[in-house]
Amino acid sequence: MFNLPSLHTVALMLPAIVLGLTLHEFAHGWMADRLGDRTARHMGRLTVNPAAHIDPIGLLLLFFMGFGWAKPVPVNPYNLKLDPRQGMLLVALAGPATNMLLAVISAIASGALAGLNLPYFGGIMLYMIHINVVLAVFNLIPIPPLDGSKILAGILPGRQGWLDQFEQYGTIILIVLVFTGLIGVVFNVVIEPIDRVLFALGGLSTR
C-alpha cells in the first residue's frame, strides 16, 4: 500500500513540483537556445508556462509515488555552436542547476520572511527546498535518459557509445532502483545533508 498524501500536503507540495519541473525544462531550452539551437523556441517550449512542460501522469506519480517526470524539451545537439557532447553537457546541467538555485533562493526567502508569520509559508518553503533538491540530485544520476548521463558523456573522453546502448535499459533500471528502495540509499546519503543545511539557512524545522 502506498501512503497517499492528504489534500493539505498536496496543496503545500504543488507550487514546488510545478515550479521545479517547469523551470527545469525551461532551463534546458534556454541553454540550448543560447548555444544556437532554436528547436525549443520553434516548438513553443521556451516559456515558463507550466502547461507547456507538465506531463499529467508524471505529475501525479510525483505526488503519489515519489518520482515522476515532465515533458522533455527537444534539443538538436547538431545545431549547437559547441561540440555536440560539450553542448549537451551544458544543456543537461542547466536543469539540475536551476533546481538547486531554486532550493537556495527558497531557503533565503524563508529566512528573510520568517518574521511575517505568513500562513502555510513555512510548509511551502520546506517543500520548495526539498523537492528541488530531490529533482536536482535525481537528474544528476548518470543513467539514461537522466541529465547525468549526458553530463557524463560530455566529461569522459571519446564517443562513449556504450551510453547510447545503455539508454534502452535506462528506464527499466530506474524503475528497479525506485521500487527496490535502492534509490533511497542515495537520497539519504546525498539529499538529507543538503536539506539540513538549507532548512537551517531558512530557519525551518521538520518536527
Tell me whether residue 167 is one of the annotated catalytic residues: no
Bridge partner residues of 70 (DSSP): 54
Q: What is the pLDDT of residues 20-56, one digit of tens each?
A: 999 999 999 999 999 999 999 999 999 999 999 999 9
Q: What is the pLDDT of residues 73-126, one digit of tens each?
A: 999 999 999 999 899 999 999 999 999 999 999 999 999 998 888 899 999 999
How high is the pLDDT of residue 145?
A: 87
* Domain contains 36: yes
Cα–Cα distance measured from residue 177 to residue 13, given in angstroms and rounded to the nearest whole number = 23
* Domain contains 116: yes
* Domain contains 87: yes
How high is the pLDDT of residue 117?
A: 85
Q: What are phi and psi of 70, to 5 degrees?
A: -115, 180
206 pLDDT exceeds 90?
Answer: no
Residue with cell 538538436: 76
Average pLDDT over residues 143-167: 82
Q: What are phi and psi of 82, to 5 degrees?
A: -90, 175
How high is the pLDDT of residue 151?
A: 93
The region, left, alpha or beta by phi > 0 then psi within -120 to 50, assigned to residue 55 is beta
Residue with cell 537551517: 200
Domain residues for the domain of 98 are 7-202
In the set 20, 21, 25, 53, the catalytic residue is: 25
64 vs 200, residue with greater confidence: 200
The dihedral sign for the CA sequence 92, 191, 193, 99: positive
* Domain contains 145: yes
How high is the pLDDT of residue 1?
A: 41
* Domain contains 207: no
* Domain contains 172: yes
| Count of structural domains, the chain | 1
**Cβ contact 63:13 at 8 Å:** yes
What pTM value is reported for the model?
A: 0.91
* Domain contains 1: no
